[in-house]
A and B are shown apart, each in its own frame.
Chain A
Amino acid sequence: MITQDTLIGYVRTALPDAMVSVTDRTGTMDHFSIRVVSDGFKGKGLLDRHRMIYQALNEPMKDGRIHAVEIKAFTQDESR
């Protein structure tokens, strides 16, 4: 289990400007859908964007606080 604020904090370690919206998919606070908007994704393909987020969430995923996370990753322009 992890709180949404903690999760967002982890994402922001890698993407300080990120706007992150989090949905708890199962109500158990460990299966999430997250939408991340950041210009840190500019020029990066889908796989690399997701890798950046997985790296930022590496610790809570390794220790099991996060079981699964569905990711949507956009730049500011793409999100408008």
Chain B
Amino acid sequence: MSEQNGSIEETIKKETRENTILIYGKGTKEAPRCGFTKETIQFFEKYGYPYQVIDVLNDMPKREALSKITNWPTLPKVFIGGEFYGDTDILDEMEKKGEVKPLLDRVFQKK
């Protein structure tokens, strides 16, 4: 089992590195299968930066690995610039304090 876990964690590291804004959620960008995933997509649509959605609805090993890595039990899980930022509960609060735009400007400038 640990061998397989190793490769899952490698995959997650790669995905979070390669996608500046990454949403692990239920369903896809075109067909979100959960209200919170849809809410998170709508959140990032406002900022106009590219973002990726990876559907882990039916991938339990990956969901467990993600929950373990982030110490966060729920989906969706948002990564920005490779860092974990929870979900819209967190991002909405950050937005109220004007922290989201500067963060996105910074992580996209580095590219």
Contact = CB atoms under 8 A, between A and B. Distances in A.
Query: Do the two shown chains form a genuine complex with each other?
Result: yes
Interface of A: 46-47, 50-51, 54, 58, 61, 68, 70-72
Contacts of B94: 46
Contacts of B85: 47
A70 B89 CA distance: 7
B90 A47 contact: yes
A50 B71 CA distance: 10
B93 interface: yes
B22 to A, nearest CB: 16
Interface in B56-111: 71-74, 84-86, 89-90, 93-94
Contacts of A68: 36, 74
A26 B67 CA distance: 26
Interface of B: 36, 71-74, 84-86, 89-90, 93-94
Contacts of A50: 72, 86, 89-90
Contact of B73 (A47, A58, A70): A58
B74 A46 contact: no
Contacts of A54: 72-74
B90 A46 contact: yes
Nearest to B73: A54
B93 A46 contact: yes
A50 B78 CA distance: 14
Nearest to B36: A68
Nearest to A51: B71
A46 B86 contact: yes
